[in-house]
């Protein structure tokens, strides 16, 4: 029986959708990517709201099963397709626990300051961003990234094999570079240490990386 490929709903440049995209490629799971437009209101349609009541991306529909929240999707992909592609979490129990801990820390502590930096510079297009808020968010972010760096011991966040921890952090750090390209002068890239720059290169060297690069960032 021919299986219907999984449907993957994303928005170009959503770091949470990017995480799932990297995971889908890493797991070599066949999928149909559907790009939703934030501006066109694609996330507010009743059809999409039935899939994700939060009206956010990403979401997936796999064989009639709808799921949202990127962290839960990553775990589902591993659970549902254990034999497909490469594992999303380290196989050794302690390494897996550290990878999960860091992915959790990224969601709880790295997302808020990066979200503030993006909102203040990129999204709102404020003529006058809140300089003090930019400074404190930058400091918080620097402290969080340093903490993660302390745990790193290898090319990737946990050892020599890429994992969902890398897929969780990478799209967020990539946004710092994006801000510098779109709004020069903020020098957000100063927050990316030499060690993290090397790590970014390692992620960007993955064979499937280019396929997941946000389409509108190429334009």
Judged by CB under 8 A, does residue 135 bind a second copy? no
Reported as half-sphere exposure (CB side, CA atoms, 13 A), residue 97 has a value of: 2
Q: Which is nearer to a second copy, 75 or 180 (CB)?
A: 75
The answer to whether the beta carbons of residues 17 and 70 sit under 8 Å apart is yes
Question: Considering CB under 8 A, how many residues would be counted as binding a second copy?
Answer: 25
Cis amide leading into 58 (omega within 30): yes
User: Which of 4-12, 70-78, 153-161, 192-200 is the region at the interface with a second copy (rule: CB under 8 A)?
Assistant: 70-78
Round to whole Å and give the CA distance between 123 and 115.
10
Site for a second copy (CB under 8 A): which residue of 53, 124, 154, 215?
53
**Residue-wise over 84-98: b if at least 16 C-beta within 10 A, else e?**
ebebbbbeeeebbeb
Judged by CB under 8 A, does residue 93 bind a second copy? yes
> Residue 161: what are its φ and ψ, rounded to 5°?
-115, 135
Q: Which is nearer to a second copy, 147 or 153 (CB)?
A: 147
Judged by CB under 8 A, does residue 65 bind a second copy? yes
The β-bridge partners of 65 are 62
Sign of torsion over alpha carbons 205, 191, 72, 119: negative
Q: Which is nearer to a second copy, 172 or 202 (CB)?
A: 172
Judged by CB under 8 A, does residue 153 bind a second copy? no
CB of 135 to a second copy, least distance (A): 22
Binding footprint of a second copy on the chain (CB under 8 A) = 53, 65, 67-69, 71-73, 75-76, 79-80, 93-94, 96-98, 100-101, 104-105, 107-108, 147, 150
């Amino acid at each position: 029986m021919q299986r219907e490929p999984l449907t993957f709903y994303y928005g170009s440049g959503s770091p949470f959708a990017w995480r799932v995209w990297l995971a889908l490629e890493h797991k070599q799971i066949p999928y149909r990517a559907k790009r939703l437009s934030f501006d066109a209101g694609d996330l507010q349609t009743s059809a999409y709201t039935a899939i994700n009541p939060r009206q956010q991306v990403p979401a997936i529909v796999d064989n009639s099963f709808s799921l949202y929240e990127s962290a839960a999707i990553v775990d589902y992909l591993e659970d549902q397709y254990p034999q497909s592609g490469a594992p999303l979490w380290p196989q050794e129990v302690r390494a897996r626990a550290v990878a999960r801990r860091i992915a959790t820390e990224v969601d709880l502590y790295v997302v808020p300051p990066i979200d503030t930096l993006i909102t203040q510079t990129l999204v709102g297009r404020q003529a006058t961003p809140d300089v003090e808020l930019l400074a404190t968010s930058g400091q918080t972010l620097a402290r969080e990234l340093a903490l993660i760096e302390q745990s790193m011991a290898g090319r990737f966040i946990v050892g020599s094999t890429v994992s969902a921890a890398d897929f969780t952090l990478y799209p967020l750090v990539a946004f710092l570079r994006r801000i510098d390209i779109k709004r020069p002068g903020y020098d957000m890239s100063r927050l990316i240490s030499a060690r993290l720059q090397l790590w970014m290169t390692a992620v960007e060297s993955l064979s499937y990386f280019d396929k997941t690069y946000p389409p509108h960032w190429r334009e």
